[in-house]
A and B are shown apart, each in its own frame.
Chain A
Amino acid sequence: MPVAERERRMSRPYGGVFVARSRIMDGEDITRALRRMAHEILERNHGSEELILIGLQTGGVQLAHALAATLEDIEDLEQHSLPVCTLDVALYRDDIGIRPVIPEEVTDIPFDLDSKVVVLVDDVLFTGRTIRAALDAVIDFGRPKMVQLAVMVDRGHRELPIRPDFVGKNLPTRRHELVNVTMDGVELGELQKS
């Protein structure tokens, strides 16, 4: 990412440095949560046959791949046999022109979504606006039988009537706090103006 763009994202009112205050989950917790979510997905959908996972750029992509691997493991499927796609919702956002939106991440949906069960995967569910954008985007790619939502952390503060189907952890937060999700764990902290 070019310096100019990075500076733009780091500058007010968006910018600052993330400072972690507490560690909510560690790597093992993440793995356990993924396994539980995988079981729930399989139970709800009576198996994995019709599943297509779509990881939302950028935080949801790694989780989508991890979730797919877990599902394959449970179902005893060949590695990488479950379809995993990526989606950058930048062009569907409702705050275009209000804040910097740069559609630079890869959208890759090489599968027909018609009559499939699409599971949107993201790291954190907050206002719900990303998911709203993702729903619009998915529908432009086809007509899934059903769309479900899996997130590692639901931190509340919804601004739209959107609810996750599968949750790693419900985490009450203050609005100004930030949640940082990686495969190594989940941290709660805040953005300090640099």
Chain B
Amino acid sequence: MIRHPDTVIKGGRLIDASGEQSGDILISDGQIVAVGQDLQGEILIDAGGCIVSPGLVDLHAHLRQPGKEETETIASGARAAVLGGYTAVLAMPNTTPTIDCAAVVREVLELGRASVCDVHTTGAITVGRAGEQLAPMAEMAALGVKVFTDDGTGVQDDRLMRRAMEYASGLGLTLAQHCEVNSLSEGTCMHEGEWSARLGLPGQPSESEELMVMRDIALARLTGAKIHFQHMSTAGSAALIAAAKAKGMSVTAEAAPHHFTLTDACCEHYDATFKVHPPLRSQSDLEAIKNALAAGSLDAIATDHAPHAAEDKELPFDQAPPGMLGLEYALALAFSELVDGGEMTEAEVLAAMSWRPAAIAGMDNHGQRLVVGVPANLCVIDPSQRWVIDATGGASLSRNVPYVGKEVRGKVRHTIVFGEVVVRDGEVQR
């Protein structure tokens, strides 16, 4: 690893899994070498009034490479990630070609190593994410892949999902599921409810998601597999997961920022920027997601960052591709919607965005406590800075941002990845 100059972060509120303290952090050789008062270093980062946290970890990023490099590359997605305070991202496998074999995994990791962020990748559960034949999980696991998903679609076949769970649990791997029963959701483009009725758009019921959550909980009980539920969007899903956890099952789940920020009413003007899978749900679902995050039954906040070209988002609503950006906005949205809403503390939000997702994905270098000897993957957040999200700027190659004009609180000032200051004063350094 390249040697970076010794860096000292001075005067921040240090928040990690163990709690909060104030002090300086000295970083050398990519590691935290001292935590205390009045430390000195070549590079000084003033963290006065700021939170210093283990870097954020995104369990759910669509980096679009290989295949759709005009909308995002691993390099550009990584830049967006570090601007958002992330030091690690987990790439989704729905690229072209699909990340479903060692060769593609190798390419993605290679590109990731050249980027500003620590890029991990998932592998597909089935070949081509077609839901027919298991992908070579062991060969991908040998390259470090720990989480497998067909994200973009769920594994529909019950027997195949059972086999996948059995196979993965034997290898100590985690399966992550995009929960959507296709027979209930095919041809739909938003949540089924008052707004889909009004707008004349085919809607999918919440049950399309919940049925698969139910099935996978049952199959996880049967097989003992570790299952992680992706982008949970309904009150029913949150309740199912809470109940499974209450029974002592080792299931984990994430929610996306848009599902605690936006509702189906946003689709009113047929702006496909608001089209996403699973769809924006009702206000009561939104409240349930917030509550489940606060209660911890939903473990993590994951962005589901999904870049799309402007011309694709200008297609008729029912034909436009689903997905919205998230990496650069997730933390501020969580602070604004969850902390300011009174549901969570800042430390709880950081738990859901850093150390808990790091644990779910098995990323040992991230989300660690701020103590001597751990890799220096950190972010410095100014929690008091208010800013208005706009569609310009940003590091992503796409601009499908549904939050334009929204005022939020909390801005990532600096991000440090393995000791390198990759974001300084809100600017990416390389």
- The answer on direct contact between A and B (beta carbons under 8 Å) is no
Q: Which residues of B contact A (CB under 8 A)?
A: none
